[in-house]
Amino acid sequence: MTNLTHNLLSWYRKNRRELPWRTKKESICPYYVWISEIMLQQTNAKSVIDYYKKFIKKWPTVYSLSKAKLKTILFFWQGLGYYNRANNLLRSSKIICNEFNGKIPNTYESLIKLPGIGEYTANAILAIAYNKKTIGIDVNINRIVSRIYNLNTTNNREINKKIFNLIPNNNSSDFMQALMDIGATICKKKNVNCNICPLKKNCLFYIEKKRINFESIKKRKKKFLFVFLLKYKNKVLLKKRKKTKLLNGLMEVPNYLLNNKPSLKKVKKIAPFDFDWNIAPGKLNSRISNFDLEVRFLYAKVNKNFFLNNKTWFDEKDIKKVPISSLMKNILIHSKPF
C-alpha cells in the first residue's frame, strides 16, 4: 500500500461523513449503494439524505421497488429533480429481478447495460459495494488527482491511469468513499483547505503552493530605518509620533524610514538636527507585518540640556514608564552602549 493510500484510509477511519447509506463494511448492501449513487447523480449528499431514508423505508428491496408504480415513485421524487432517474430506477429494478435474480450485478458489462447507469456509477457500485479494484471518477475525484499529480489534463482516462496504482487490493470501497469525502469537505473547487488534508505530503499542488509562498516570503520587501540618538548625560531625546491610526500618542527616537539603503554619508545629511553624528557599528533586524526592517544607529552627545519643540529628554532608567512601541523599546535597549 502506498504512503498516500495509507494516510487516506487512516484519515477516513476517523473522519468519514456519517451518511445513511454507509453501513459497516461487512454489511454493505449493493441495493443501498445503487439507490444512493443514482440519487447522488447531479445532487449533493445533504439534499439526498432525507429522500434516501424515506425511499429505503418505502422500498427496502429491489423486489419491492420493481412492483412499484411509476406514478408513486415520481410523486416521491418531487423536489429531487432529474425525474428520469426515477423512471430508470424502476426499469432497472425490473431487469435486475428478471435477469439477475434480484441481485445488483457485480460486473461492469452487466451494470453498464442498466438504464441510468453510466461509466461512473458502474465503477462506483463495483468499488463501493463489491470492493472491486476500480474507482468511479467524478468531478471531485478528477480534481483531487489532477492536483496531487499537478496534471494539465482533466481527461478521465489519464486520471484513471494515475490513480489505479493507488487503489488498495482489498479496500477500494473505503478508498473511493474517502476520496469522495476529501473532495466534498477539503479539496473543494474553491476554498481548498490543504493544511488539514491527509494527502498534503504527497500532493504536488500543495508542495508547489508552499514553495511559492516561501519564495514570496523570501522576497519580502526590505526597508531601512535610521534612528538618531541624541544623548545628554543619562538622558535620551524622544519625540512624540505624528498622529496616525496606529501607535498614536507614543514616543519615539527621531528616525527616518527609507525604502532603499543610502550611503551612510548621505544619511547624515537627512539627520533631523545639525550635530556631529557618529555612525554606530552593527544593526538591528526586525520583522514588521509586511516588510523586513534594518535599523541603523547614528548618535551624538550634547552637553547642554536644550529644549526642542515637541521633543523631550527622558532619563534612560525611566524609559519603562514612557509609552513606546516594542520596536522602539528594542531600539533603546540596543542603543544603550552608544
Q: Which of the residues are catalytic?
A: 37
163 lies in the binding site for ligand SF4 (CB under 6 A): no
Contacting residue, 90, 104, 148, 176, with ligand SF4 by CB under 6 A: 148
Contacting residue, 187, 238, 251, 328, with ligand SF4 by CB under 6 A: 187
178 lies in the binding site for ligand SF4 (CB under 6 A): no
Q: What is the 3-state secondary structure (H, E, C) of 97-113?
A: HHHCCCCCCCCHHHHCC
- Of 88-147, which residues contact ligand SF4 (CB under 6 A)? 144, 147
Contacting residue, 29, 192, 271, 280, with ligand SF4 by CB under 6 A: 192
> Which residue number, 181 or 252, has a Cβ lying nearer to ligand SF4?
181
Number of residues that bind ligand SF4 (CB under 6 A): 13
298 lies in the binding site for ligand SF4 (CB under 6 A): no
Phi-psi region of 111 (alpha: psi -120 to 50; beta: other; left: phi over 0): alpha
> Which residue number, 1 or 192, has a Cβ lying nearer to ligand SF4?
192
**Which range touches ligand SF4 (CB under 6 A), out of 5-13, 76-84, 195-203, 211-219?**
195-203
- Of 197-226, which residues contact ligand SF4 (CB under 6 A)? 197, 199-200, 203, 205-206
Distance between CA atoms of 117 and 305, rounded to whole angstroms? Answer: 92
> Which residue number, 162 or 223, has a Cβ lying nearer to ligand SF4?
162
186 lies in the binding site for ligand SF4 (CB under 6 A): yes
Q: Which helix (H) or strand (E) holds 210?
A: helix 204-218
In eight-state DSSP terms, residue 190 is: S
Residue 322, phi then psi, degrees to nearest 5: -90, 135
**Which range touches ligand SF4 (CB under 6 A), out of 86-94, 192-200, 225-233, 244-252?**
192-200
Least distance from ligand SF4 to the Cβ atom of residue 145, Å:
9
Locate all alpha helices (DSSP H) within 59-166, ordered by sequence.
62-66, 70-77, 84-99, 108-111, 119-130, 139-148, 156-164
Distance between CA atoms of 308 and 312, rounded to whole angstroms? Answer: 7
Burial class, 18, CB count within 10 angstroms (exposed 0-12 / middle 13-18 / buried 19+): exposed
180 lies in the binding site for ligand SF4 (CB under 6 A): no
| 41, 82 contact by CB (below 8 A) | yes
> Which residue number, 125 or 186, has a Cβ lying nearer to ligand SF4?
186
Distance between CA atoms of 282 and 32, rounded to whole angstroms? Answer: 73
Which residues bind to ligand SF4, rule: CB under 6 A?
144, 147-148, 186-187, 192, 194, 197, 199-200, 203, 205-206
